[in-house]
């Protein structure tokens, strides 16, 4: 549900000229829901009104003419938006739209720039106030961006440089980049990192780097509060289950452009609660999980296909065929506490996303052509995934103008990129201890918090409570997930949402026919729930004791030692960046 703040001073209206258009005279109107441009056609004496939803706008900059611009008194405003293109009956896709308006009513550039700045300030207030009333990141702080250059097919760093940095630039989102250099780099980094320096952390990788991040936080003395640090995810690996799950929950067209859809979540800066799960072993080792845990066919495919990681998510399809041809069965005791009143049946109804009137297909073609001279992209990314390779995607004819706090104009050449690549690690443990106080969260005693987290979990040696159920059988699959997807196109629990408080426990019994197991693998879109031998049970605590001598046990796609495990839900303890 979107949180919107109303404004009493609207609508705001002015008459301007569309940049680069012969008959571009227009009336621009802004209200909390949309930016409307009504073009005035003097030949036909008609009008044409186009709108951009304010919820699709990411940024706005003021500019002045460069050396090629002869009208030195004119100021320019460029609005960047990512509306939905395509038929309302289909999901469509989000594409970049840049609208540039000339402000030239006054005789001096300074006066026109003042008008442009007032529009820019008001527009950004509208865009950024849409989430006030919901928790938001602190925009005065920068985001920490962690990139694993070796994740999956090894394109995460390229994704950042060619796609992410352009959108961050348009949104004027401050960030600091750390490229991981080894396994457990992120794990070691965040154990002593001063979190108060950052608004949140964005992971550009597969799900494995986020697993490292969370379990590094788990090692901190303030871990109960640290695990609530806002995180964002941009798909850059083989398994991109969390990114796909968030888009599924929001009804966003993820597969059309996964990176763009995911990056927009950080730009808008809203913080939504996300479930985490605490996994324990008899030896007392604890692991924090955000996606899944399990054994059997799905875990075997995930880990054994690592040798094909250069193929990206295609590796899972290839290895699924190999494993299906040689099915394994695992004897295990599975115990769980069922959540009553929750239905695992799949419903295909999704939210309907609003489209701006500017982005009907026939209008989109005209808009793109109109601004082609000003708005050229030098990106080499395929059209379906393209973001600008330059921070503002402008030719040298215009120069961005900013004002410092003292009101002095500053000229910044378009495309200038400055990144702080220094990782700021505070090795003073006191910085971590002070995180609770400084980030505005109330302190909770560790013993009290741990008692709450463990309220559903008896010791392994103890008898299970009466409200737990136990199944002892041969299984082809024992897999629990807390998000809808375990990869971009594998929907394990279609009705799962990031904050439903449920561990969705999937069981495929050993007596399932080979034909039904194949249907299961081919039908991971929700239809697999109708296959005989497949069960999806909503639980909030569980225990798995393998009775087979060896096998592969995974948490969030990472291998942990084979043996008994138990897990319980930490409802809403995580925080995820969303639209």
Question: What residues have CB less than 8 Å from 221, skipping those under 6 apart?
Answer: 429, 432, 433, 446
Tokens of 505: 């426990």
CB 510 within 8 A of CB 476: yes
Say which of 31, 56, 114, 207 is annotated catalytic.
207
Phi, psi of 104 (to 5 degrees): -140, 25
Measured from the Cβ of residue 237, the count of other Cβ atoms closer than 10 Å reads: 27
CA distance 303 to 307: 9
The answer for residues whose C-beta is within 8 angstroms of residue 45's C-beta and 6 or more apart is: none
Name which of 229, 225, 187, 192 is nearest 209 in CA terms. Answer: 187
- The pLDDT of residue 303: 80
Token pair 């005789």 is found at: 107
Q: What was the pLDDT predicted at 3?
A: 47
Helix intervals (H) in 171-257: 185-191, 207-217, 223-226, 241-250
Cβ pair 389, 145 in contact under 8 A: no
What is the Cα–Cα distance from 543 to 535, expressed in whole angstroms?
17
* Pairing between β-strand 468-481 and β-strand 34-41 as defined by DSSP bridges: unpaired
Residue 326 CA to residue 520 CA, distance in Å, equals: 15
Answer yes or no: are the C-beta atoms of 186 and 163 closer than 8 Å: no
User: By CB neighbour count within 10 A (0-12 exposed, 13-18 middle, 19+ buried), where does 342 fall?
Assistant: middle
| CA–CA gap between residue 282 and residue 140 (Å, rounded) | 44
DSSP string, 119-135: HHHHHHHHHHGGGBTB-
Q: Are 57 and 63 in contact (CB under 8 A)?
A: no
* Active-site residue, 194 included: no
Q: What is the DSSP letter of 543?
A: E
What pLDDT score does 332 carry?
97
Tokens of 150: 């070796």
Q: Can you tell me the distance from the alpha carbon of 359 to that of 94, in angstroms, rounded to the nearest whole number?
A: 10
Query: Which residues in the chain come in under a pLDDT of 50?
Result: 1-8, 88, 346-352, 358-396, 404-454
Asked if residue 470 lies in contact with residue 334, where contact means CB atoms within 8 angstroms, the answer is yes
Nearest to 193 by CA among 168, 166, 229: 229
Q: How many CB atoms lie within 10 A of CB 528?
A: 22
Give dist(CA 98, CA 80) in Å, integer.
Answer: 5
| pLDDT confidence of residue 364 | 38
* In contact, 348 and 526? CB cutoff 8 Å: yes
For residue 536, the model assigns a pLDDT of: 96
Length, in residues, of the chain: 579
Model pLDDT for residues 202-251, shown as the tens digit of each residue: 999 989 999 999 999 999 999 999 999 999 999 998 779 999 999 999 99
Which residues is 94 bridged to in the sheet? Answer: 84
């Amino acid at each position: 549900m979107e949180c919107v703040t109303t404004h009493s001073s609207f609508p705001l209206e002015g008459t301007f000229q569309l940049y680069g258009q012969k008959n571009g005279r227009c009336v621009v109107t802004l209200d909390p829901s949309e930016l409307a441009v009504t073009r005035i056609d003097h030949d036909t004496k008609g009008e044409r009104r186009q709108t951009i939803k304010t919820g699709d706008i990411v940024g706005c900059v003021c500019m002045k003419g460069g050396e090629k611009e002869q009208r030195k008194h004119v100021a320019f405003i460029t609005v960047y938006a990512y509306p939905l293109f395509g038929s309302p009956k289909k999901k469509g896709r989000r594409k970049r739209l840049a609208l540039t308006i000339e402000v030239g009513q006054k005789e001096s550039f300074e006066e026109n720039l003042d008008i442009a700045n007032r529009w820019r300030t008001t527009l950004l207030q509208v865009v950024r106030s849409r989430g006030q009333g919901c928790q938001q990141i602190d925009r005065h702080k920068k985001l920490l961006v962690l990139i694993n250059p070796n994740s999956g097919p090894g394109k995460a760093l390229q994704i950042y440089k060619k796609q992410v940095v352009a959108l961050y630039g348009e949104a004027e989102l401050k960030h600091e980049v750390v490229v991981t250099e080894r396994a457990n780099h992120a794990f070691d980094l965040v154990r002593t990192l001063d979190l108060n320096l950052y608004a949140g952390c964005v992971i550009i990788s597969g799900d494995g780097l986020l697993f490292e991040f969370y379990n590094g936080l788990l090692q901190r003395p303030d871990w109960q509060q640290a695990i609530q640090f806002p995180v964002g995810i941009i798909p850059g690996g083989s398994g991109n289950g969390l990114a796909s799950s968030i888009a599924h929950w929001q009804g966003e067209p993820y597969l059309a452009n996964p990176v763009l859809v995911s990056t927009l979540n950080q730009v808008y800066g809203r913080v939504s609660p996300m479930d985490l799960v605490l996994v324990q072993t008899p030896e007392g080792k604890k692991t924090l999980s955000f996606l899944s845990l399990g054994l059997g066919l799905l875990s075997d495919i995930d880990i054994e296909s690592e040798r094909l990681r250069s193929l990206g998510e295609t590796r899972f399809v290839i290895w699924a065929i190999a494993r299906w041809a040689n099915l394994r069965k695992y004897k295990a005791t599975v115990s769980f506490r069922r959540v009553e009143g929750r239905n695992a049946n799949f419903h295909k109804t999704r939210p309907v996303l609003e489209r701006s009137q500017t982005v009907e297909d026939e209008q989109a073609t005209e808009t793109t052509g109109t601004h082609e001279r000003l708005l050229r992209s030098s990106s080499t990314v395929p059209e379906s995934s393209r973001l600008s390779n330059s921070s503002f995607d402008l030719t040298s004819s215009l120069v961005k103008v900013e004002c410092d706090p003292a009101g002095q104009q500053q000229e910044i050449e378009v495309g200038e990129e400055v990144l702080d690549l220094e990782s700021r690690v505070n090795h003073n443990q006191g910085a971590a201890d002070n995180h609770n106080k400084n980030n505005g969260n109330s302190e909770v005693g560790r013993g009290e918090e741990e008692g709450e987290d463990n309220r559903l979990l008896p010791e392994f040696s103890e008898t299970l409570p009466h409200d737990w159920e136990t199944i002892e059988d041969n299984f082809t699959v024992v897999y629990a997930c807390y998000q809808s997807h375990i990869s971009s196109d594998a929907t394990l629990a279609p009705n799962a949402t990031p904050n439903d408080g449920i561990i969705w426990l999937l069981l495929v019994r050993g007596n399932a026919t080979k034909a039904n197991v194949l249907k299961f693998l081919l039908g991971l879109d929700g239809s697999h729930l109708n296959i005989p031998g497949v069960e999806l049970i909503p639980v909030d605590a569980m225990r798995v004791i393998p009775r087979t001598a060896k096998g592969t046990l995974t948490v969030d796609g990472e291998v942990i030692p084979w043996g008994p495990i138990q897990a319980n839900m930490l409802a809403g303890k995580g925080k995820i960046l969303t639209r």
